[in-house]
Amino acid sequence: MLKSNINNGLDEQAAKILLKTHGENKLQDKKKVSIVKQFFGQFSDFCVIILFIACIISFVTSILDGSRDFIEPAVILLIVVLNAVIGVFQERRAERALEALKKLSAPSANVKRNGKIKKIPASGLVPGDVIYLESGDMVPADARLISSNGLKVSESALTGESEACEKDANSVSAADCPPADRKNMIFSSTNVLAGNCTAIVTQTGMETQVGKIAHLLASEKSPQTPLQLRLEKIGKTLAVGALIICAAVFLLGVIRRSGILSSFMLSVSLAVAAIPEGLPAIVTIVLSMGVQIMAKNNAIIRHLPAVETLGAATVICSDKTGTLTQNKMTVTKVCSASGELSMNSSEACKILLYGSICNNSHVIKRGKKPIFGGDPTETAILSAAFDCGENVFSLDSDYPRLHETPFSSEKKYMSTLNTVGNKKLLIVKGAPEVILPRCSKAEMHGSDSALTKFLSSKISEQNSRMAAQGLRVIAVAFRAASDPSDYDEKDLTFAGLIGMTDPPRPEAAKAVATCKKAGIIPVMITGDHIDTACAIAGQLGILESGLTAMTGAELDSLSDSELCDKIKKCRVFARVSPEHKVRIVKAFRSCGEIVAMTGDGVNDAPALKAADIGCAMGKSGTDVAKNAADMILTDDNFATIVKAVALGRGIFDNIKKAVHFLLGTNIGEILAVFAASVLGFAPPLIPIQLLWVNLVTDSLPAMALGTEKAEKDIMTRRPISPSKGFFSDGLWIDISLEGMLIGTVTVLSFLIGSKMFGTENVLLGRTMAFCTISFCEIAHAVNMRSSLPLFKAGFFSNRAMTASVIICSLVQASAVIFPPLADVFGVTSLSAVQWLIVICLSVIPLVIGEAGKILFTRKA
C-alpha cells in the first residue's frame, strides 16, 4: 500500500516526491506573531503610552495657540518609533538565534534508501521509509514494525503511562483498537528503552498520533531565564523609583511656573529614557549571541538558563570512554584461563571470533580494506578478528542469529544464539565479574576444564592486572544450546578475556588542570573496572594522593549521609549503573555543589535531569539522553565542557557589564535632571534630547558589550556562587557612584555653558550638557569592557565596541553640527573651546574608571 520495498527501502526520487506530497515530518509550530503585531507591541509600555498622549496634547496645544510648532512632538514620536524598530530587531534576532539552535539539536533517523542505510534529519522521513531503531532512540514517526528484538518502548509522552510497552512485529491488532494496544506499531515522539527493530513509516508530521494533539503543545511559551526574571523585578523597582523622581521633577516645574505641559513632557520623557525596561531583552540578546558562539565550539545549549548555571558549576562528572579518552579502541591483549595468548594463535582467534559473532557492529568492504561502524568496543573486536584472518564480512550469513538479548547497563552483558556449523551456540560477552559467576567450565588449549575456585581466582587476578594497565577488559563465554528457545545465560564455558586500550584524549589532561585552577572538581564516572578507571584517572590528574575511588557495589552499601561524607574526597566511580549516577548527583548537590553530569544512554536521562547541567553526547548519545540534557557536546569531548564553562562565565560577565552600563547611565540621566530641578536651575536637557540620548547610547554599546571576549583570568576565578546576588561585591555602590558622576558632569557642563560665556545662555548650556551626557555614556561603555585597564585589555580588541563608539559619536555630533538637525534638537553650534570642554568633561568617568582599575584591581 505504501509502494515501498522492505529490503531496499524507497529510492531517493520517490522519497522527494512523497516529501512534497506529505510535507516535512515535523509538528506545526505555534503561529508566529506577525512583525506588525510585534511592532505595535513595543508601544504597550505605560510610560510610552503616556508620552504619546503628551505629544498629542503638545500637538493640539500648538495648533490652539497658533504657534504651529509641530517639530518637537513629531520628532519625539519619530524617536519612539525608532526605539520600537530597534526593539523588534532585537526580538527577531533572538528568535532567529533560538531557531538556529533548534535546528542544530534536531533529531535524526537511520533510514534505508536505495538499499543503503544512511542517517538523515527526521524531518525528511516520508511514509514508506524503512527505519532502524535501537535502545535510546526517539521514534521519529508513526511506523509499523517489520522485525523486532526484545523491543520495549516508553509511550508516556503519548499515553501518560510510565510503564514500558513491549512491542512485537509478529503481533496483529484489530483495525479499531486504540493506539496504546497496537503492539505492532511504534509512535512518533516515544522512546525505545530496550531492544532494536526495523519498521516502515506509515504517518509523518501532523498525521501522526502526537500530531493530532499538537495544538496542545503549540500553546507552550518559552520560559524566561532566572536572570531575566531577577532583572525584570529589579527593573520594576527602579521604574517605581524613577517615576517618583519624575513626579517630583513635574511638581517642581509646576511650582516654578515652567509650564504644566512642558514640565509634564519633561518628566514623562525622563521616565521613558531612564526606566530600564529593556533589561530582559538585553539579557536575551547577550545570551543568544553567546549561545551561538558556544555552538561553534561544539556545545549546543538546549535551554538558555544552562548558560547561567554553567558559570556556577563546581563539579563536572564525566564519563571516561569517549569523553576523557579517544574512544579509539584497539585490542592489545587476549587471555584464556591458562594465561596470555599470542594474538595470532588459534585460541585467541576463536575468542575474537566469538566476540565478533556476539556483536552488533557492522563492516563494509571497500576494496580489500574493511570499514567498521558501530560501538568502538565492538568494532575493536571485529577489527582484531579480521587481523586474525577471520572473514568478518559474512558473519551474519555464516553464523545466522536466532536470538539476541541486547546489552544493558544493568546487566552489563549481551548474548546471542547463533547457528555455528551443525549446532546452536549461545555466546555471551560482557564485564568479567558478571560473566565469570555464570560459568561452570573454562576452555584451555582446546579442551574444557571445571572452573574451580583456584582457576576462577586466577582469571580474576588476570582481569585486575589488565585493568591496572588501563585496559578495558571484556569477557567471552559460550555454551551449546538445545533449541532456539534455550538462551539462559547459565552454566557457561569461559572462553577468555579481551583487553583493549583506549588512550586519553591529548587535550583532556590540560582541561582537567584548567578545572582545578577554576575551582571545579573533575570526577570520572565509568562502567569499567576500578583498576582501569584509576589508571586513566591517574594519567589525567583526576586521581591524586589523598583522593579516593569507589565502586558501584561500595556505593550501594552506603547510606545517603555516609555517601555525602565520603563523596567530598572521591574522584573516581567505577562499575556504576545509571541509577548510581543519580545518587552521585544528589550527594554532590546535597553538599552544596553545582553539578554538570555527562551521559549518553537511555538510562542516563534521570541523572541528566537531576544534575544542574545535563550534558549529552552528540556522537554516541541516544535521543533520549539528548532530550533530557541542557547541553549537547557534538564532539563528545571533556575539554568542550570546560570550554563551555569558560564561555558561560564570559557570557555572565558580559550580561553583568551590559546591565552595569545601562543602569549607571540611566541613573546619570535621572540625577542630572532631578539635581537641576532641586537646585532651581532650568532643565539641562529637554524631552527630545533625553529620548535621543536614550536611543543613541542604550542600544549599540550595550549589545557591543555582549560580544566582549572572556577575560584572561576567567578560569582562575572561583565559580560564581548561586547564593550570591547579581549586585553583590559592591556592584550597586559602583553603579550609584558612576550614575552620580555622569549626572554631576552633565550638570557641570550645563552650568559652564550657560554661565561662563558672557551673558546667561541656557541654549548653549543645554547644548553642552546634551553632548556631554551622550559622549560620557559612550566613554562609560568603553570603561565597562573589562576589569583590566584598557592598555591590557586592548584598545581595539572588541570590533563591535569600536564600531558602536564611532557610529554613536558621529550620530551625536551630527545632531549639533548640522543646522537642520540642530534646530530639531534645540541646540546651537559650539566653538572649538566649548567642544574641548565637552570632550574633557565626557572622559572624566573613563579616566577615573581606568585609574581605579590600575590602583585597585588584581594584577592580570
Residues involved in catalysis: 319
Residue 810 makes CB contacts below 8 A (sequence gap 6+) with: none
**Furthest CA-CA distance within the chain:** 116
Distance CA 333, CA 662 (A): 64
Distance CA 208, CA 28 (A): 12
* Residue tagged 504597550 (cell numbers): 44
DSSP 164-205: PEE--TT----TT--GGG-TTEE-TT-EEEEEEEEEEEEE-G
Cα first-last separation, the chain? 71
Residue type, 477: A
Write b or e for each residue in 707-746: b if 16 or more Cβ atoms lie within 10 A of its Cβ, otherwise e. Answer: bbebbeebbeeebbeeeeebbeeeeeebbeebbbbbbbbb
Residue 650 phi/psi, 5° resolution? -65, -40
3-state DSSP assignment of residue 451? coil
SS3 content of the chain, % helix, strand, coil (to 5): 50, 20, 30
Q: Which three cell numbers stand for residue 645?
A: 564553562
Q: Which three cell numbers stand for residue 563?
A: 555517601
Torsion of CA 388, 393, 398, 401, to 10 degrees: 110
Q: Which three cell numbers stand for residue 238?
A: 527602579
> What is the pairing mode between strands 315-319 and 362-366?
unpaired
**Among 501, 499, 491, residue whose Cα is nearest residue 428:** 491
**Among 353, 448, 345, residue whose Cα is nearest residue 399:** 353
Distance CA 334, CA 340 (A): 6
Residue type, 562: E
Q: Which three cell numbers stand for residue 722?
A: 548561586
Distance CA 107, CA 776 (A): 50
Residue 664 phi/psi, 5° resolution? -60, -45
> What is the pairing mode between strands 423-430 and 413-420?
antiparallel
Whole-angstrom CA distances from 256 to 249, 603, 752, 761 are 11, 73, 22, 19
